[in-house]
Structure 1
Amino acid sequence: MQPVLFYGVPQGCSFGSIVALEWLGQPYQLCRIEMLEQPWDRLFGRINPLYQTPALLLESGEALSESLAILLHLAARAPDTPLAPRQGSPAFDQLNQMLSYLVTDFFSAFVPLWVAYEKPELNDEARSVLRALGQEKVADACAYLDQLLSDRPWLLGERRSLADAYLAGVARWVEYHQLFDPHRDYPHLARYLARLAADPAVRFATALEQGEAADGSAGFMGHVSLEQLRPRLVGE
């Protein structure tokens, strides 16, 4: 029995958890959640009553939600690696600090943009205000990351970490919302994102999200549906 990651499409931040699993090479399955198909299957409510992705069903039957908790759990499964340093070490503190920034400040910068995108009942004035607010917040966040990446190849230094995996999923929202030209405005960040986009794990996650056939690492054990998971979810 493997853990099952529930990932949301389109453009879910759970994308980063797929990349992390691929980088770690540990056995796992995936369950695809179409976020725009409402209401969601009630079975998913047994995994996360808030009906949000990502979520991780563990071998024990327990479930984890929230990207930060899931990524730190995955880190604990592979201690003392460059991707997941030992808890309590200075390197782990740096990873925790960067992940905390990304799942709070960086993620929340996009919230006004998603509200403008997902609420068709808004008038043009309200949508314009939300987009302007979101663009300002995202620009500040991108400027911070651009400066950070001016003297290092990865967020934490010379080696990639699970923070880079998470950012692979969220940073693509800049292009999705067509806010500005990263190559012109944030060249260090743009260079970094181009390298991420070429990574095999990121290409794998992209293909999955687009519904295309994709070959992952030895750890990927295929997709499973909510109905197939029913015995694990309801104790049958």
Structure 2
Amino acid sequence: MLKIFGAVGSGSVPIEATLRLLRIPYEVIEAVTWESEEARKQVEPVNPLRQVPALVLPSGEIVTESAAILIYLADLYPQARLAPGLNDPKRAQYLRWMAYVSAAIYAFAWIKDDPMRIAASKEDAPRVIDRVYNRIADCWRKMDEQITPSHYVLGDELSVLDLYVTVISRFGPWRTRFYENAPKMAEVVRRVDADPRLKEFWAKRFPFHEGWERR
């Protein structure tokens, strides 16, 4: 069985959703690394950066980095059609945007978890977060301007890119601002939010509570 080090409402959620859609059994080892030194120590043997997600394969091999894990799983099970194949004309843009979401947007989680990692003082920390949120919103806007989605980001078929965007867009600066800056992708993420195959999954791993879009 696959094991994934993750946490509710974290970057492990799109990976868990992918495994759910693939109907692959897996075990989640809960580790809220941004809140607990104990959790960070728990994750350290599988990821020296002490952060989730980390996937442990049945062979014992470890895969980290959310985009890499998603790409790996989609390619491992091509029959599920959760990613464009190697010869698909959409493959290049799929890889481009997977890397973009990871590097240009999700990477800021390291600062958001603890702005004192780069802030000059505690007084400066709120300004750091504001700047991070502005940058994230701008990156979503630039992505939205360059894509022509249909039902989903790449066309008419759900891909791991859609799962990735859907989850990461729920992080700060939160969905309301995402909707404003990425109106084309707004319809995509709402569609993924409402996917009946994931209804029970979302309720357990990233629940929709009152006011969640404006948190």
TM-score normalised according to structure 1 size: 0.72
Cα separation, 2, equivalents of 1:44 and 1:128: 28
Task: Tell me which structure has the larger Cα radius of gyration.
Answer: 1
Listed one character per residue, the Cα deviations across residues 116-156 of structure 1 (whole Å, up to 9, x for unaligned) are 388999433x1233133113212212212433466522121
**Equivalent residues in 2 for 1:129-148 (5 A)?**
129-148=127-146
> Do the aligned partners of residues 105 and 85 (structure 1) sit closer, same or farther apart at CA in structure 2, a change above 3 Å counting?
same
Unaligned residue ranges in structure 1 (runs of 5+): 212-236
| Corresponding residue pairs, total | 206
- Say what the alpha-carbon RMSD is for the aligned residues: 3.1
1:226 paired residue number: none
Cα separation, 1, equivalents of 2:88 and 2:148: 25
Task: State the identity as a percent.
Answer: 23
1:195 paired residue number: 191
Q: CA deviation at 1:98?
A: 1.6
Unaligned residue ranges in structure 2 (runs of 5+): 208-215
**Equivalent residues in 2 for 1:105-144 (5 A)?**
105-109=104-108, 112-116=111-115, 122-124=121-123, 126-144=124-142
Cα separation, 2, equivalents of 1:109 and 1:181: 16
Greater shift, 106-115 or 193-202, is seen at 106-115
1:46 partner SS = coil
Greater shift, 160-169 or 143-152, is seen at 143-152
Q: Which has the higher contact order (CA 8 A, sep 6+)?
A: 1
> Do the aligned partners of residues 143 and 29 (structure 1) sit closer, same or farther apart at CA in structure 2, a change above 3 Å counting?
same
**Equivalent residues in 2 for 1:80-119 (5 A)?**
80-87=79-86, 89-109=88-108, 112-116=111-115
TM-score normalised according to structure 2 size: 0.78
2:7 partner SS = strand
Cα separation, 2, equivalents of 1:18 and 1:201: 13
1:206 and 2:202 correspond? yes
**Equivalent residues in 2 for 1:42-191 (5 A)?**
42=41, 44-87=43-86, 89-109=88-108, 112-116=111-115, 122-124=121-123, 126-148=124-146, 151-174=149-172, 177=173, 181-191=177-187
Q: CA deviation at 1:106?
A: 2.0
